[in-house]
Chain A
Amino acid sequence: MNTAVKSALNTSKQLSQQSISSLNASYMNNIQLFTNYNFREYFKRKYQREFEKLNKEFATNDSNAINHYEQLTEELRLIKRQTIINQLYKFDELIVEQK
């Protein structure tokens, strides 16, 4: 993507608190679809951390916020792909998991 298009996207898509929380909700829903308990818990922990950071960046008008947001949007695709693979191969639940 060339820089002109990128900057056009940036200006057209203003980062808002609402878009951040909807991305956050989308993450948490998709992470729930990991059938592997350890992956589920790990990514929940990781993206809670990431969104805390993003919210802080957004609140302080940090210029990194928009890049961070875009990076997280990109990574959501990875999470979606991996949850599909996790759904295809299912194993027994761990002994600490509620069935």
Chain B
Amino acid sequence: MLGKAIIKKAIGFESAKLSLRIVCSSNTLKAYQSTSSDVDYKHHIDHRFDDSRMVTHTKLQKPSEANNEENLESSPSQNIATALSHAYRADPTRGTRPIYLDVQATTPLDPRVLDKMMNYYTGLYGNPHSNTHSYGWETNTEIEHAREQIANIIGANPKEIIFTSGATESNNLAIKGIAKFYGSSSSGIKKNHIITTNTEHKCVLEASKSLKDEGFEITYLKVDSNGLVDLKELENHISEKTCLVSIMGVNNEIGVVQNLKAIGELCRSKKVYFHSDCAQAYGKIPINVEDMKIDLMSISSHKIYGPKGIGALYVRRRPRVRLHPIISGGGQERNLRSGTLSPPLVVGFGEAARLMAVEREADIEHITKLSKKLVDSLLKIEETSLNGDPNHRYHGCVNVSFAFVEGESLLMALRDVALSSGSACTSASLEPSYVLSALGKDEALAHSSIRFGIGRFTTEEEIDYVIKAITERVEFLREMSPLWELHKEGVDLNTIEWSGH
């Protein structure tokens, strides 16, 4: 009796299990069969992934904040032209995320790069420095392959590439490493003089500043009104005590390209090491370390659609450049930068570098076309000017000054476009850009400048939107400005004596 019941129960259990299995398999079948109704190409939605999709909304910088709209509506200025209110009103048929035009700060990760990286976040997790098993060998092979891809772009030997955490670390390693090695040598002349320019990135300026506290002598070269370094002046400053000249390739704020070849040849003839911060230049303008006689070069991965958190320093082997390492440890990377390499980041960096070479022509053509369109349209607005040399420039970086408009207020009015008035590091401070001040721009003009970054993923539609938005809102902000009114009446603003209250 009891036995029978147990058997019955067991049978019931079995059948339940069976039916469960049928349900499961039909579900999985459904998930992997792509019928046409599952995929909505028009709205870019693949319903097969409905249950696993995570919807993320960006709360910050939403142009459609209800509060702002109310405030604007209830203010006495509600009858004023609605150019500005466009910035806060959401079109229900359109999205809400701002257009990204700040590729000098960082670039989106290319999906093709992510595709390579995913292997190393899933199956290939070996430590590349493990020499005793295949997990280490397979990642090590790929790291060396990536090193080759990165070296190829600048005509270097793969052994000359040192991986670091980014261009800031590379710049610090180059400047402090050279200074500590040659500045403290007990034999011969103490080389304790470094030359750089006053338009360099903050990390070069700060690294030099910290060396100054340690007794080094730093010369900050002045640039001309176009942002270029004067070679004569550089030559005059090089002395027998000079150990390093550090000049960037492409300026991150104004996009000016320095004459690296002439500077490199001058430094080589004077037997001084030449370091170049090429975070913005690498892969975007033609660079060859042999041709340009560059001894050290800083490279960043996240400026070339690669992953964040990795960069590289090119260190010449012949003639040998010797550095004092900042980080001590297991002796990886020719003993210059110890610490385990991250295979996903390194491989992503390598793939990003390969893509820069593969896509070079198409990218340059696309970026130049959009840049020309943007510059031409912005300069049509009255009293605007392009900062930096018009001929020696990288087209993906456009810096324009809008006179009689406060730069930060224009940025506030342009919340539907992600822009910056200078480098991301200094964007928190309200001081005018030190790069523009170095060009000799007066403070008001330096305040009213905005940087537009155009990259591989920028579209023509976005540029059209930005041109329209800027033209409308500059006009609107100027109409409010008493300075613009005075200017229109022909009063020279510099002659006015402002009384303090």
A85 to chain B, nearest CB (A): 7
Looking at chain A's contact residues, the main secondary structure is: helix
Question: Smallest CB-CB separation from A78: which chain B residue?
Answer: B115
User: CA of A97 to CA of B98 in the docked complex: distance in angstroms?
Assistant: 11
How far does the Cβ of A29 sit from chain B's closest Cβ, in whole Å? 6
B95 touches A99 (CB 8 A): yes
A17 interface contact, C-beta 8 A: no
A93 touches which of B56, B94, B111 (Cβ 8 Å): B94
Interface hub of B111, B118, B465 (most chain A Cβ within 10 A): B111
Indicate if the CB atoms of A95 and B52 lie closer than 8 Å. Answer: no
* Chain A residue nearest in CB terms to B469: A95
**Interface residue from A33, A39, A81 paired with B39 (Cβ < 8 Å):** A33
What string of 1s and 0s marks CB contacts (under 8 Å) between B97-112 and chain A?
A: 1111000000010011
In the complex, which residues 60-90 of chain A have their Cβ closer than 8 Å to any Cβ of chain B? 78, 81-90
User: Is A94 an interface position by the 8 A CB rule?
Assistant: yes
Chain B, 44-55, contact with A by CB distance < 8 Å: what is the 0/1 string? 111001001111
Would A95 and B99 count as touching, CB distance under 8 A? yes
Residue contact B56 to A91, C-beta cutoff 8 Å: yes
Complex contact A96–B462 (CB within 8 A): yes
Within 8 Å by CB of B95, from A32, A45, A95, lies A95
- CB-nearest residue of chain B relative to A75? B112
Q: Which residue of A lies closest to B456 (CB)?
A: A42
Residue B427, interface by CB 8 Å: no
CA distance A90 to B50 in the complex (A): 11
Known: A78-B112, A81-B115. A93 touches B457 (CB 8 A): no
Interface size on B, residues (CB 8 A): 42
Report yes or no: B97 in contact with A92, Cβ–Cβ below 8 A. Answer: yes
Residues of chain A within 8 A (CB-CB) of B57 are 91-92
Within 8 Å of chain A (Cβ to Cβ): is B416?
yes
Return the chain B residue nearest A85 by Cβ: B114
**A7 contacts chain B at the CB level, 8 A cutoff:** no
Q: How far is the CA of A88 from the CA of B55 in the complex (A)?
A: 8
Check if A93 sits within 8 Å of B108, measured CB to CB: no
Scoring B residues 110 to 131 as 1 if CB is less than 8 Å from chain A, else 0, what string do you get? 0110110010000000000000
Residues of A within 8 A of B115 (CB): 78, 81-82
A38 in contact (CB, < 8 A): yes
Q: Which residue of A lies closest to B54 (CB)?
A: A89
Specify which chain B residues have a CB less than 8 angstroms from the CB of A58 in the assembled complex: none
Q: Does B362 contact A (CB under 8 A)?
A: yes
Once A78-B115, A82-B112, A88-B54 are accepted as A-B contacts, the answer to whether A33 and B46 lie under 8 Å apart by CB is yes
**Do the beta carbons of B99 and A94 come within 8 Å of each other?**
yes
Chain A residues closer than 8 Å to B95, beta-carbon distance: 37, 92-97, 99
B63 at the interface (CB under 8 A from A): yes
The answer, among B41, B458, B462, for a CB contact under 8 Å with A33, is B41
Please state if A87 and B58 are interface contacts (CB–CB under 8 Å): no
Please give me the residue from chain A that is nearest to B461 by CB atom. A96
B96 interfacial by beta-carbon distance below 8 Å: yes
Q: Is the CB of A87 within 8 A of B53?
A: yes
Whether B44 pairs with A95 at a CB distance below 8 angstroms is no
Q: Which residues of A contact B (CB under 8 A)?
A: 29, 32-43, 45-46, 49, 78, 81-99
Sample (30) of A-B pairs whose CB atoms are under 8 Å apart: A32-B41, A33-B39, A34-B44, A39-B457, A40-B44, A42-B456, A78-B115, A81-B118, A84-B46, A87-B45, A87-B49, A89-B54, A90-B53, A90-B54, A90-B56, A91-B56, A91-B58, A91-B97, A93-B97, A94-B97, A94-B99, A95-B63, A95-B94, A95-B95, A95-B97, A95-B99, A95-B416, A97-B95, A98-B94, A99-B92
